[in-house]
Copies of this chain bind each other. A is one copy, B any other.
Amino acid sequence: MLLADCAVELIPREIWRHPAVVNYCRKRGKTPGKTLLDSSYHHAAMRGLRDAERRGRPDILHFTILEVLGSPLNKSDKLRTYIHSQAGNLVEVNPSVRLPRNYDRFKSLIEQLLAEKEIRTESGEVLLRVEDGDLRSWRERWGLRSVVLLSETGEPLNRLGGIRELLEGGRPVCYVIGCFPHGDFSGEVKAIADMEVRISDYRLDAWVAASRLLCMLESVLLPGPGGSAG
């Protein structure tokens, strides 16, 4: 699964001196260039930024990745997760990583990741790693059979034969969830997609879209009380 176009970036230099940013960083003992942009706190400073309404929402990634990593599909080791940010960073996620539930700590971890390019356990296991290269080379490296964007303007999934149909065949399928608050996927993400699919008649939050997709996948791929109960 690819969590794409995440609204996650360090505070851009052009607003480092804005009072909202200066105050925020002073209170927390941080430097702007090593701090995540967060529209809840930097809203006033973000007004002049290009595409401001799409940026500064690490909470969306936080909710969504906790939903994904906590899923039975991930716990049964049948899922690989990557994070892709609007700034173009691509991050490999160790399926067994336990990310902070606390939002401040989650943000601090991502700040550390962006500075150091990887997060390891004390025993040296890599939990998160920034990868080199773009999405196109990433897709090729994985030999993905199909890249499926979840989008409210996509084709309804049941008209496509449902999730079983998408899963058939040998090579892995990648599902893409957009983790941005407004607008459409970026050109970079759209360029690697084979189809756009809609799983609900409602506009879903990224974490709800992720959980519904995972629930459908689990109903096909996992046996047991959860898998076959629907």
Contact = CB atoms under 8 A, between A and B. Distances in A.
Interface of A: 27, 40, 57, 59-60, 63, 66-67, 70-72, 75-76, 101-105, 156-159, 162-163, 198-202, 204-205, 207-208, 211-212, 215-216, 218-220, 224-226, 228-230
B225 A72 contact: no
Contact of A224 (B156, B215, B229): B156
Contact of A202 (B66, B72, B101, B102): B72
**Number of this chain's copies in the complex:** 2
A157 B101 contact: no
Nearest to A229: B157
B103 A205 contact: no
B157 A208 contact: no
A225 B156 contact: yes
A208 B70 contact: yes
A230 B216 contact: yes
